[in-house]
Chains A and B, each alone.
Chain A
Amino acid sequence: QQQVKQSPQSLIVQKGGISIINCAYENTAFDYFPWYQQFPGKGPALLIAIRPDVSEKKEGRFTISFNKSAKQFSLHIMDSQPGDSATYFCAASRGGNYQLIWGAGTKLIIKP
């Protein structure tokens, strides 16, 4: 119930293409769904986050799509660039004094 399942484990996309990373959760009490981006040699950094009262949130080329009934959320990167090559983590929490539950990460490589 506490798990967040992330797929794929790795992804290679051509420059200019759309990168899609998916996450699924079981705990319906989760109410905060962030995505973190981690470049090699750095710590993860918050990229974009969504709460379940909306089905989509867009920030520049990055969009989170949220499907509450399916208990799934995904990250879409439009016009993917080599600089987007990184490891992406989805996560979920239920707020209050509950810890963030992390997905296993997706290594994204954008080929020039």
Chain B
Amino acid sequence: DTAVSQTPKYLVTQMGNDKSIKCEQNLGHDTMYWYKQDSKKFLKIMFSYNNKELIINETVPNRFSPKSPDKAHLNLHINSLELGDSAVYFCASSQDFSGNTIYFGEGSWLTVV
């Protein structure tokens, strides 16, 4: 069983479209994250939820909106996609917000054309 699973793995879409990436963790963790990894491999945290509550909301365009229906799920919705949104988006989770051992999903490759 995959601990942190996200779908879709690959997504090619046109500028201006709206898309969602879904994430589920079966580890029983309280904290979930969305990270963005650009072409230079730099990892940037976007959001963090702890028990369905937003904890971290980094400087991210408000076109990006996370939704956590329960503590096992954290979805990412992106409105009006732009070329610069092309990146790999990683969902992750940890037992709590202490930062110890973050488990990452395999990533969702988003290409905006």
Contact = CB atoms under 8 A, between A and B. Distances in A.
With a 10 A CB-CB cut-off, give which of A41, A42, A99, A102 has the most chain B CB atoms. Answer: A99
Contacts of A97: 55, 97
Of A38, A93, A100, A104, chain B has the most CB atoms within 10 Å of the CB of A100
A41 B97 contact: no
B105 interface: yes
Interface stretch (B14-22, B38-46, B64-72, B77-85): B38-46
Interface residues of A, number: 24
Contacts of B59: none
A44 B100 contact: no
Contacts of A100: 45, 99, 102
A46 B102 contact: yes
Contact of A99 (B4, B45, B103, B105): B45
A44 B98 contact: no
Nearest to B97: A97
B42 A104 contact: yes
Nearest to A92: B99
Nearest to B105: A43
Most buried by A among B48, B99, B101: B99
Interface string B18-32: 000000000000000
Interface in A66-96: 87, 89, 93, 95-96
Interface of A: 32, 34, 36, 38, 41-46, 49, 87, 89, 93, 95-100, 102, 104-105, 107
